[in-house]
Structure formats: structure tokens, C-alpha cells
Amino acid sequence: MTTPIYYVNAEPHLGHAYTTIIGDAITRWSRLMGNDTKFLTGTDEHGLKIQQAAEAAGVTPQAFTDEIAPKFAAAWDKLNIANDDFIRTTEPRHRAAVAELLQRCYDAGDIELDTFAGKYCVACEEYYSDDELIEVDGTEGCCPTHRTPVEYFEEENYFFRLSRFQDRLLDWYAKHPNALTPEQRGNEALGLIRGGLRDFSISRTSLEWGIPLPWDDKHVTYVWFDALTNYLAAVGFGDDTQDYTDWWPATHLIGKDIVRQHCVYWPAMLLSAGIEPPARWAIGGWLLVGGEKMSKTSGNVVDPLDLIDDVGLDGFRYYVLAETAYGNDGDFTYEGLVGKYNTDLANNLGNLAARVATVVTKKCGGLGTAPDPDSVLAEAARTAFTDTAKFWDDLQPSKALDATWGLIRATNGYLEQNEPWKAEPGDAVDAVMGDALEALRIVAILCSPAIPDTAQAVWERIGMTGLVVDQRLPDAAAWGQYPAGNEVIKGDPLFPRIKL
Ligand code: MSP
């Protein structure tokens, strides 16, 4: 499982956090299901954009990237991201992989020297044809993504002969119909291929900050050929062992702005080099602020760490995962964040955990009771597991969480119907609470990919030992495993309500 590698011209912001948290949660789910899953993220450190940012800061590009890359790693630590590798494109392993891939494509005859003249957006690190450019506030020739003027370049470049790959790519996708998700975004990617493919430049002579071509060191690799190769570099492609296939092909999580590079360029490069294309692409929308993509260029960045101060780490993670269907754009608002927190976390999950602990403390002597094998909640738990699993598998976190929350809602409803807080202690109360505790045990497991710290806290409050992350599905979700006699702890509210 991979995230895009982030440009280090800016510090990590909510847009980066969005993609990384989703990758993290999908990975955590996969691990719960017993799949040995490697999760990779990292930083994209070459190219004109970084070179210019370093010049502006008055330092060398290496010093500049050495300063920013650790900030990404530190941000992911704070967001509880369970990546097991962090690749930087300035590392020797990455350089070796890029050299190897370049050489293979060159040897296959798919890289050739030509003259390039055209318009380039430094922020995208991408060329544009005139018909792709837009007018912004009276200025013609602006980048459609960044809405800033593009620059004219003319020089000798090596080109990757993408135009030769249209049929091979369409054939490959026809044989792998589920590779692109969600479907609508996948269709956009296929549309790019059907629309006709132009060769793309992979090298520059006017740029210093990049990896030299193995056969012509006057040229350095153009940023996308370099950046995409990180996915292979991190699993051992280009090293002495060449045993990258243990982890290849990967699932790539990407934003809709980098579809052309990931779903068109990348599989063509791999086919040229005789390597299997990725297994799957999950294409996400953008998190917008006031209707615009959050980006350093737009000046509307929100620091995720500020939001965590208000709603807590899991409050923030939950919002990112649950608010918007993956693939669609989402509009970030502070009211939306607090609203989601209050409804789903404070009122639903938090309230359920508090109620259960209060009643068990007051009416069951603080010790958990056993669930009824035939409880109505058993069916709700089975449905919750089946749907949750299906939607995580479909790479749809918001739907998966809604399925998990179905069990929370059902359990709250069950308690409201039975009102154990009004009843005298005894068998009836014990039975109801056993069911609620068992539901909460299953909820803790199912919600753990999204809100791992809270899941562990719930687990411990109902007296379970060990770690939620060590549970394995589907077995751990089977109804009836909550043991009677566990000590149940009330604790502070998991999610105190927030006033706007
Ligand atoms: N370095 C390239 C990717 C190379 S991958 C081989 C790059 N970096 S980036 O830092 O600009 O963006 C990386 C990803 O973060 C993109 O997929 C982009 O969509 C995502 N996001 C950046 N801002 C975002 C939002 N505001 N919302 C959602 N995702 C956002 O492109």
C-alpha cells in the first residue's frame, strides 16, 4: 500500500494528511484481516520546484530537503501513521532503482532524444499544451490546476515513447477490470488513454537537482520518471537482490490530480521495462477549503496539528475518513469537523462506552457479564462485520465506518429499549449488559483502523487484555467471545462534547 510521495517545497498540510490517513486506515484493516501488508510513504525531493524553493531560502537543495523531509515523518508520527518505510528520493536506494528502470526502458528502445518546446507549470512539474491552459483574471496561458502562468521552455530532452503504448495499456486494463477504483475516476483515467497519448519528456539539461541519466549525464531525469520509481525502490528494485516481487505489484493511493502520471505513464514505463503494472489504484478527490484545493500555491493551508488540539487525534482521523466518500471532493469546514465529532463520536460511540461502563459499575458490581448467543445484536454484529469488510476491501472508508457505526447505533437502540439503568440488578440486566459489552468488543476491533487509540481504550475499559491490533478477523468478530468477569472501568468521557 502506498501514498504519493510528497513534495518538500511545503510543510505537511491537511491535504497531505488526508491521503496518508486513508492509506494508513486501509493498511490497518488489511493487517486485521491477516494480510501481511507493507505501507510506504515518503518525500519527492528533486525537480525545479524544490530547487527554486531552496534558492529562495538561500540554502542548497540537499540542505533544504534535509530540513523538510523529517517534518513529514514527524507529522505522520503524530497522526499515528503505521508506515513501515519512509522513502526519500535523494536516498542511494532510490537513485539505483531509477537508474535501473531508465536503463531498462532505454534498452527496450522506448526512450529517445528529441527537441522539446512548450509550456511548463513548475508547481505541477508538468508540461501543458495550449488547449489545456486556461485564462485567470484576464491572464491567458495559466495552469488549470494552479491557476498561475506557465513558463516557456525549449531544449533537448529525452522522451518516453508513450504514444506506442495506447493499445497495450487498454489491453492491460481490459484484463484487469477492477484495477481502477472508484469506477467513475477509473473511467476518467481510461478516457485519458483513449483520447490519445503523447510522448513525454523525461529529462532536462537546464535542471541540476535530479538523477543523471545512466547513458548521458548531461541530462537529469525529469521529476515524474524519478518520483514514480520510489514505489519499486522501496521494495528492493535496483538493489543486488532484485527480489522486489515479494511486495510487488502494489496498491497505489493517489489524488485525482496525479492520475495521468500514475495510471498512464507509470504502467507504460513498467510494461516497457518488463515489470507487472500495479495491482490497484485508489483515486481520491481533493479536500477543498472554500471550494478550492488546499495547496501552498493557493495559500489556504490548514495545519492538521492545530485541529488535533481541538478534536483530538482520533477525532481528526475519524473526520478525514468518514466525512466524504472516497473519490469525491470534500469541503473542509471547522463546523463540519466539530459536527461530525459531536454526532458520531461524542453522542454515539462515546455515549455507548460511558453508558455501558456506568450501568455495569452500578448494577453488575463492576464486572462484565456474558452475552446471549441468540441476542438480536448478534445479527447486527454479523451484518456490521460483513459490510465493514466489504467496504474496506472496496477502498471506501466512509462506507466502512458507517457500517461499523451501524452496530453502535443498534446497541444504543437496544439499551434504550431495555433501559437497564432503570431495572433492578439481576439476570435481565446482566443479559442486556453482556450483549452490549460484546457489541462494544466487536466495535473496538472494527473501528480500530480509523481510530486506533480510542479502540484500544475501549478494549481496556471493558477489561479485555492484549492489543486490538493483534486481533485477527473474521474470527475475532464472531459473536459470543466476551468473557464474564472482566473488570469494567468507567474512565473519563472518550469524546467530551465540543461547543462551537
Ligand atoms: N510529488 C508528487 C507525487 C509523486 S508520487 C510518485 C505530488 N506531491 S504533492 O505533495 O503535491 O501531492 C501529493 C498528493 O497529495 C496528491 O495526490 C494530491 O492530490 C494530494 N493532496 C495534496 N493536496 C490535497 C488536498 N487538498 N486534498 C486531497 N489531497 C491532496 O503531487
Q: What is the DSSP string of 411-426?
A: HHHHHHHH-TTTSPSS
Cα gap 106→110, rounded to integer Å: 6
Are 65 and 90 in contact by the 8 Å Cβ rule? The answer is yes
121 flagged as catalytic: yes
On whether residue 382 sits in a domain, the answer given is: yes
What residue numbers bound the domain in which 451 lies? 337-477
On whether residue 372 sits in a domain, the answer given is: yes
Query: Which helix (H) or strand (E) element contains residue 212?
Result: strand 212-213
124 flagged as catalytic: yes
Probe target for ligand 1 pocket from 43, 44, 264, with the most ligand atoms within 8 Å of CB: 44
Residue whose CA lies nearest to ligand 1 atom number 6: 228
**Strand ranges (E), 272-352:** 280-284, 287-289, 292-293, 330-332
pLDDT value, residue 296: 65
Residue 152 Cα to ligand 1 midpoint, Å, equals 24
pLDDT value, residue 171: 98
399 flagged as catalytic: no
What's the number of domains the chain is made of? Answer: 1
105 flagged as catalytic: no
On whether residue 451 sits in a domain, the answer given is: yes
The tally of CA atoms less than 13 A away on the side-chain side of residue 386 is 7
364 flagged as catalytic: no
Residue whose CA lies nearest to ligand 1 atom number 5: 4
Cα gap 241→255, rounded to integer Å: 32
Residue 286 Cα to ligand 1 midpoint, Å, equals 9
Are 39 and 1 in contact by the 8 Å Cβ rule? The answer is yes
Cα gap 25→29, rounded to integer Å: 6
Pocket flag, ligand 1, residue 213 (CB < 6 Å): no
**250 three-class SS:** coil
On whether residue 393 sits in a domain, the answer given is: yes
On whether residue 210 sits in a domain, the answer given is: no
The tally of CA atoms less than 13 A away on the side-chain side of residue 459 is 21
Q: What is the CATH number of the domain that holds 466?
A: 1.10.730.10
pLDDT value, residue 48: 84
User: pTM higher than 0.85, yes or no?
Assistant: yes
Pocket flag, ligand 1, residue 454 (CB < 6 Å): no
Are 117 and 266 in contact by the 8 Å Cβ rule? The answer is no
List C-alpha distances in Å: 440 to 44, 60, 351, 388.
42, 54, 12, 15
Residue whose CA lies nearest to ligand 1 atom number 28: 286
Residues (pLDDT < 70) of the chain are: 294-298
Q: Residue 315 is placed in which grid cell?
A: 477525532
On whether residue 87 sits in a domain, the answer given is: no
On whether residue 38 sits in a domain, the answer given is: no
Q: Residue 64 is placed in which grid cell?
A: 533544504
Residue 258 Cα to ligand 1 midpoint, Å, equals 7
Probe target for ligand 1 pocket from 261, 265, 286, with the most ligand atoms within 8 Å of CB: 286
From the list 384, 195, 189, 197, the residue with the least C-alpha distance to 282 is 189
The residue annotated as part of the active site, out of 105, 142, 143, 364, is: 143
Instruction: Mention every residue, 6+ apart, whose C-beta is less than 8 A from residue 340.
Output: 318, 319, 322, 323
Partnered with residue 160 across adjacent β-strands are 111, 200
pLDDT value, residue 295: 66
Pocket flag, ligand 1, residue 32 (CB < 6 Å): no
pLDDT value, residue 196: 94
Q: Residue 93 is placed in which grid cell?
A: 536506494
